[in-house]
Chain A
Amino acid sequence: MTNHWIDIRNSDCILIMGSNAASNHPISFKWVTEAMKRGGKLISVDPRFTQTSSKADFYTALRSGTDIAFLGGMIKYILDNNKYFKEYVAEYTNAAFIIADSYDFNDGLFSGYDAENRKYDKSKWGFVKDEKGIPKKDRTLQDPRCVFQLIKKHYSRYNLDTVSAITGTPKEDLAKVYEMYSTTGQQGKAGTIMYAMGWTQHTVGVQNIRSMAIIQLLLGNMGVAGGGVNALRGESNVQGSTDHCILFHIWPGYLKTPKASLPTLAAYNKKYTPKTNDPLSANWWGNYPKYSVSLLKSFFGDKATKANDFGYNWLPKLDDGVTYSWLDLFDAMYKEEFKGLFAWGMNPAASGANANKNREAMTKLDWMVNVNIFDNETGSFWKGPGMDPKKIKTEVFMLPCAVSVEKEGSITNSGRWMQWRYKAANPPAEALPDGQILMKLGKAVQYLYKKDKNAVFPEPIVNLKWDYSTHGEFDAHKMAKEINGYFLKDITVKGKKFKKGDLVPSFAYLQADGSTSSANWLYCNSYTSKGNMSARRKREKSGIGLNPEWAWCWPVNRRIIYNRASVDKTGKPWDKEHPVIEFKGKVENGKYVSKKWVGDVPDGGWYPMQNPDGSDRKDTKYPFIMKPEGHAHVFGPGRADGPFSEHYEPVESPVSKQPFSSQLASPVAVTYGTNMDIYKSDDPKYPYVCSTYRVCEHWQTGIMTRWQPWLLEAQPQLFVELSKELGAKLGIKNGEKVIVESARGKVEAVAMVTIRFRPFTIQGKTVHQVGLPWHFGWVHPKDGGDSANLLTPSAGDPNTRIPETKAFMVNMRKA
């Protein structure tokens, strides 16, 4: 989330689309309700009428997988009806930038498409630069090649008739949503979006969110209270685990995993340190080498020296152009490319798309380590449905671990708040905290490599700094301090003296010469000489809900990011009622003469862009400090599938053509080629659109909740929800057992025939949609049904490679 949970109360209009917050993030609704009490409106857009919809001022349905068409129509409406926030758009976004002539768009394809490799050459989508190398701009937004004019042109095709034919949403409902939401383009008004996996789990997932980001920027909703782009993150610490980058492509703090083509630290830093020629751009990522070197110092401690490139080449490199993501991983496993798998607190036999493929892949491993609280479909895969244990070679180690209340440490919520948890009880019997298991395993491996004179490339293992225990127990405080970072010698930075061993007060003090460590620069400032900031418990007494002294929030306790866009060029808040920050420096003769920001931690403490008399300042920076040009990307040339969003059908769709172009599915969607990767689009054998979802009483694959009596009693088994119309057509009654089947697998479920689903009219034809939760699995309870991911396809987004589990095709029959 760019904003945070309590801030939702400041919103004038909340769009909940791609999530069902009332069921799946129930306490977030406390703040939705609070916003509504204060006059805010709630819009719910969902294929199914949900608990969220039941509370909404306005609800409408769309077919799963058509969000870009829906939102593209909103972009057109905002532009056609002058609902955008002109000053914000012209000054703070790249709408004024001039785009190179090589950019074009034709029949569903952006320029630079390489059909053979299903890839774009993104260099075709560049900005035109002046003689100093600064992007050319037309702040009047009139130049026919400026981004603003190109958006107008791009989305001009998204009229109500076409959008309605794709989404199945009635035209008057589209117009109503567009009208309601676009009122937040007025100065002082804020609209917010609450989305979750309903937007990300598509082959166009990133572009779903890009579409909304464009809307939020056109309406001036970024950086302001009650605004932002707010991903409702699912797992309790999925924000933190992402920040610490348990992901193939990034190192802690969103640094890049090095590629094989970058043989030295210098080459690596050069490649990933963006440059700007614009003195008004802060270009924060210009600090990249300070963060990468400080990280290497945390990895290898004293063993990381300037002479050995701080251990840069001890760490593994990725081949250029190759991805090692979740879907790739299970594809490789299925092809017998792995010997071993660790699954920490995860159940891929039930949570991964195309679960049959994943389960089969596990039979091809030599060994697996499964660390969990309960028995689960992954650890016990060898005795699952259709498996013959006597034919499965895989050795499995199932290790019992502690639950959250049985250990100490921090987690980071969706609003980027890092919150400390204390240990309340001991784990049962021999169960251990994961931190302790990791420390012990690391020590054991280090011992084996130290002992073996012929060990292969032992340096990274034996040199890994692995001293996060106290009296033989993992010490979360030690690790948390290392994550913050230390000064490694006596040093003066920015006029302040620090001693070796001092904690670094914030990432502005990190160095690229090895004199500081920080295991994650983004968390530098979280554990300082003032103590463990994440353990703070002081509530705000008045204000807009920022609660700056409750816990800690990255970056540098900034509660609303991009907040310098919440003020005008002179530093005064657009929204006087809910000011996030405000400039209160002294004024002499119409000019600011002293610096003082009040409110949230500003995105950089520079002077505002202008003086009160309207004269431009030279000692200022543009507000979007993470972009090399300092402006938010309405035009996003970095994406794999185009600088603007475009509607494409899911890889599995109920139609054979779509009205926007001859490209049916995304031309760069990721698919796989084994005999277990089967995709069936517009196939009479699989006529119904299907989506997976969650219920309040269960959790993800259900590992943590299926074993709990109260929760299991509330939701005992797998069901499939379908409309009355489809029930009548198939002769299926409420409560009957049915088989739901896709091209990849099938599950048995109880039919739940409701009015919450309604048939759609798509391009003149009736299309039914069904849905089912994915919380169940064969291990427990015995009659509870299996994972809905047996049905979902291993198709992925070209940017993130997140699987398309929210829109695929199934059939259904009585069991």
Chain B
Amino acid sequence: MNVTRRDFFKITGASAAGVAVMGLGLDLKPFKSHAQTLKLRFAKETTTICCYCAVGCGLICSTGEAGAGKIINIEGDPDHPVNEGALCAKGAALSQLTNNDSRLTTPMYRAPYSTKWQKVSWDWALWTIAKRVKKSRDTDFEHKNAKGQVVNRTTAIASVGSSALDNEECWLIQALMRSLGLVYIEHQARI
């Protein structure tokens, strides 16, 4: 059955408000049962924690038959002690973050003075970035400051972000940047 975006919006809003859905002139039964069948027949369930605010609500992701395939549903985790299944509007829409046609899917490059993006390979992008980092760092590396004290740093490169990343990734960022000699290392916590 085809449910348009607008219809879905009405339905979710109306059900949340406890209004009889039949009042909308839509028979929800086939829609609901189809969704439920999908989940039960094919889904692999994986728990996650919401990626928005720091309440840390639990969610259950239902993934299609191929294991780490396409996500078909994300809903609140009723076993989670903080949210007990409840979610806000953002958490409830989380599947639209992952299944979204507007996502960036390939590395892109904008050359100096260019008016457009061009698609590039990961290999090219990462090697080119590594070379830029090395050149910028080595050109401006400061072994000693104006007072003659050892500082071993570069103030030619800065790094910002991110509290949207996992703990393990956060550690990697600060370690890599510090090993390069960066002192301008900041992120969302400062703002």
The verdict on B156 contacting chain A, using a C-beta distance below 8 Å, is: yes
Taking the closest CB of chain B, its distance from the CB of A443, in whole angstroms, is 9
The segment from A41-49, A395-403, A495-503, A748-756 found at the interface with B is A395-403
Taking the closest CB of chain A, its distance from the CB of B3, in whole angstroms, is 12
Chain B residue nearest in CB terms to A396: B110
Taking a contact as CB atoms under 8 Å apart, the answer to whether A464 and B90 are in contact is: no
Taking a contact as CB atoms under 8 Å apart, the answer to whether A316 and B178 are in contact is: yes
**Cα distance A476–B167 in the bound complex, in angstroms:** 9
The verdict on B190 contacting chain A, using a C-beta distance below 8 Å, is: yes
Of the listed residues B82, B109, B169, B183, the one surrounded by the most CB atoms of chain A closer than 10 A to its CB is: B169
Interface residues in chain B, defined as those with a beta carbon under 8 Å from any beta carbon in chain A: 5-6, 8-9, 12, 46-58, 61, 63, 68-71, 74, 79, 81-84, 86-91, 93-94, 96-98, 100, 102-115, 117, 122, 125-134, 136-141, 143, 145, 147, 149-191
Q: Mark A397-432, 1 if CB is under 8 A from B, else 0.
A: 111110111110111111101110111111011111
Beyond A30-B83, A413-B55, A429-B105, whether A346 also contacts B190 by CB under 8 A is: no
Taking the closest CB of chain B, its distance from the CB of A512, in whole angstroms, is 21
Identify 29 residue pairs between A and B in the complex whose beta-carbon atoms are under 8 Å apart, listed by A's number: A234-B54, A235-B53, A236-B49, A237-B164, A240-B167, A241-B163, A241-B170, A246-B163, A247-B186, A263-B150, A326-B186, A333-B158, A338-B157, A338-B158, A340-B136, A348-B160, A351-B188, A366-B132, A396-B110, A397-B125, A400-B105, A410-B168, A411-B167, A425-B71, A440-B126, A460-B180, A474-B172, A705-B97, A713-B6
The verdict on A489 contacting chain B, using a C-beta distance below 8 Å, is: no
Taking a contact as CB atoms under 8 Å apart, the answer to whether B54 and A236 are in contact is: yes
Taking a contact as CB atoms under 8 Å apart, the answer to whether B89 and A351 are in contact is: no
Taking a contact as CB atoms under 8 Å apart, the answer to whether B137 and A409 are in contact is: no
The verdict on A714 contacting chain B, using a C-beta distance below 8 Å, is: yes
Inter-chain contacts of A348 with B (CB < 8 A) = 160
Beyond A324-B183, A326-B190, A448-B131, whether A424 also contacts B162 by CB under 8 A is: no
CB < 8 Å neighbour of A235 from B93, B130, B143, B188: B188
Taking a contact as CB atoms under 8 Å apart, the answer to whether A240 and B129 are in contact is: no
Taking a contact as CB atoms under 8 Å apart, the answer to whether A441 and B162 are in contact is: no
CB < 8 Å neighbour of A483 from B46, B79, B141, B168: B168
**Cα distance A806–B90 in the bound complex, in angstroms:** 24
Inter-chain contacts of A344 with B (CB < 8 A) = 159-162, 165, 173, 187
Taking a contact as CB atoms under 8 Å apart, the answer to whether A696 and B74 are in contact is: no
Of the listed residues A313, A319, A480, A714, the one surrounded by the most CB atoms of chain B closer than 10 A to its CB is: A319
Inter-chain contacts of A473 with B (CB < 8 A) = none
The verdict on A105 contacting chain B, using a C-beta distance below 8 Å, is: no
Taking the closest CB of chain B, its distance from the CB of A340, in whole angstroms, is 4
Inter-chain contacts of B152 with A (CB < 8 A) = 313-317, 457, 460
Chain B residue nearest in CB terms to A413: B56
Size class of A's contact patch? Answer: 35 or more
Inter-chain contacts of A252 with B (CB < 8 A) = 171, 174
Beyond A252-B171, A411-B167, A422-B46, whether A232 also contacts B54 by CB under 8 A is: yes
Beyond A26-B88, A317-B153, A410-B166, whether A421 also contacts B98 by CB under 8 A is: no
Taking a contact as CB atoms under 8 Å apart, the answer to whether A30 and B160 are in contact is: no
Taking the closest CB of chain B, its distance from the CB of A523, in whole angstroms, is 8
CB < 8 Å neighbour of A411 from B49, B107, B133: B49
Of the listed residues A232, A241, A261, the one surrounded by the most CB atoms of chain B closer than 10 A to its CB is: A241
Taking the closest CB of chain A, its distance from the CB of B12, in whole angstroms, is 8
Chain B residue nearest in CB terms to A415: B56
Beyond A237-B164, A338-B157, A342-B157, whether A246 also contacts B61 by CB under 8 A is: no
CB < 8 Å neighbour of A237 from B69, B97, B111, B167: B167
Taking the closest CB of chain B, its distance from the CB of A670, in whole angstroms, is 12
Taking a contact as CB atoms under 8 Å apart, the answer to whether A423 and B68 are in contact is: yes
Inter-chain contacts of B53 with A (CB < 8 A) = 24-25, 232-236, 414
Inter-chain contacts of A372 with B (CB < 8 A) = 104
Taking a contact as CB atoms under 8 Å apart, the answer to whether A428 and B105 are in contact is: yes
The segment from A74-82, A153-161, A386-394 found at the interface with B is A386-394
* Chain A stretch 342-398: residues in CB contact (< 8 A) with chain B: 342-346, 348, 351-353, 366-367, 369, 371-375, 382-383, 389-398
**Cα distance A700–B89 in the bound complex, in angstroms:** 14
